[in-house]
Amino acid sequence: MAVTKITGRELFNKLGQPSKILAPMVDHSELAWRILSRQHGCTLTYTPMLHARLFATSDKYRRDMWGSLDGDSKIDRPLVVQICGNDPEYVLQTALLVQDKCDAVDLNLGCPQGIAKKGHYGSFLMEEWDLIHKIIRTLHDKLEVPVTAKIRVFPERQKTLDYAKMILDAGAQFLTVHGRLREQKGQKTGLADWSIIKFLRDNLPSDTVMFANGNILYPEDITRCLKETGCDGVMSAEGNLYNPGVFAAEDSLDKDVSFPRVDVILREYYEIVKKVAAESPASRKTMKSHIFKILRPFLSNHTDIRSVVASMGGKATLEEWDEKVIKPVEEIVNQLCSDGEKKDDVEVGPLESWGGSYKTVPYWRCQPYFRAVNGVTGDKRQQQKEEEETEDAVEGPNESATKRRKIVDALS
């Protein structure tokens, strides 16, 4: 007999209609980071994905991934727990162990990484609709909390729509759509396609709760995405990791809110870890990785600090992190900001064809990360692509391609 539970729209309203959502990220959306993200404007958080079979069968894995403060009603809600797996019973067992400390459980159908391919879960279940339906239906029928799902898209819009309808039919109450193909990852990431998310929004039942994922660089991108896709909320993964200020209000003109200083975020994050580390092994384990990401632009200019961070092993104490990294960074940034010759302004570039503008941010402030391929960062690759498309439209593809080859030959 199915358990009666609230619908997705009812849950969405109960949670305060969250529109700024921290994505589930392997080893990076753990308790301490969720707390930090909420303090910077996030209104709904997801856990890292929990491996269903390991969580259900391994006491050690469960202790490492889920502490007594995870899902705590005072410091860690609202919360959705994400689970990955391909066995309905293992996924259900894991969900039953956490359902009392979360608002919903989410099935990971979006992970494109090699580990997901090897384990046969995430986006590598996209072709197995019967299995997906069975997993979601099992959770929907037997849990006390709602089940949700996070997906990637197919190249074909109609197939993606049929896929989404199947997932909703199985019982999913929230649908998060990452507007990228399974193949778009790492150096092949590229831009997410908001238009296919809008297509789903226009063709799914109007009461479906939908979240969009992809292309969030700056706070204003969240508002722009909400407007262009018609979704209820926007999820950020990498954008949040490098700048928790991405969840700031769009109309905030305070750079300390939208692009906070790295020393301020570092201290804030460190103090949170100190408070929860004893009960959250995952927060302590992930600390070094988070610090590298917070300091990414800073470390390129202060390689001595980068060397220290790199040398900090797993046995380094919190006190050692404070003395060797946190305090030195604070001293350097304070000096930089008191230097009248240093320009501490955020410069806004021209409007790009994708609808937003790139910004030049001082290296001592948190900012988006543009992955480099062959020495060219993502923002520059996108600009080059747009320039080439413009040339093709004006001159014709053969003529413009010939011109580009001549330029390359001249530089060789």
Vertex 179 angle, CA 173 and 185, to 5°: 120
What is the 3-class SS of the chain, one letter each residue?
CCCCCCCHHHHHHHCCCCCEEECCCCCCCCHHHHHHHHHCCCCEEECCCEEHHHHHHCHHHHHHHCCCCCCCCCCCCCEEEEEECCCHHHHHHHHHHHHHHCCEEEEEECCCCHHHHHHCCHHHHCCCHHHHHHHHHHHHHHCCCCEEEEEECCCCHHHHHHHHHHHHHHCEEEEEEECCCCCCCHHHCCCCCHHHHHHHHHHCCCCCEEEEECCCCCHHHHHHHHHHHCCCEEEECHHHHHCHHHHCCCCCCCHHHHCCEHHHHHHHHHHHHHHHCCCCHHHHHCHHHHHHHHCHHHHCCCHHHHHHHHHCCCCCCHHHHHHHHHHHHHHHHHHHHHCCCCCCCCEEEEECCCCCEEEECCCCECCCCCCEECCEEHHHHHHHHHHHHHHHHHHCHHHHHHHHHHHHHHHC
Among 276, 385, 287, 266, smallest CA distance to 331 is for: 266
Sorted by sequence, the CB contacts under 8 Å of residue 240 that are 6+ apart come out as 22, 23, 37, 42, 216, 246, 247
Name which of 277, 226, 256 is nearest 67 in CA terms: 277
Active site residue 42: no
Task: Determine the Cα–Cα distance for residues 203 and 180; give it in Å rounded to an integer.
Answer: 19
Q: How remote is the C-alpha of 168 from its chain's centroid?
A: 23
Query: Among all chains, which residue has been given the structure tokens 């979360």?
Result: 102
Q: Active-site residue among 42, 102, 111, 225?
A: 111
- Sign (positive or negative) of CA dihedral 285, 286, 289, 291: negative
Residue count (the chain)? 412
Question: Active-site positions?
Answer: 111
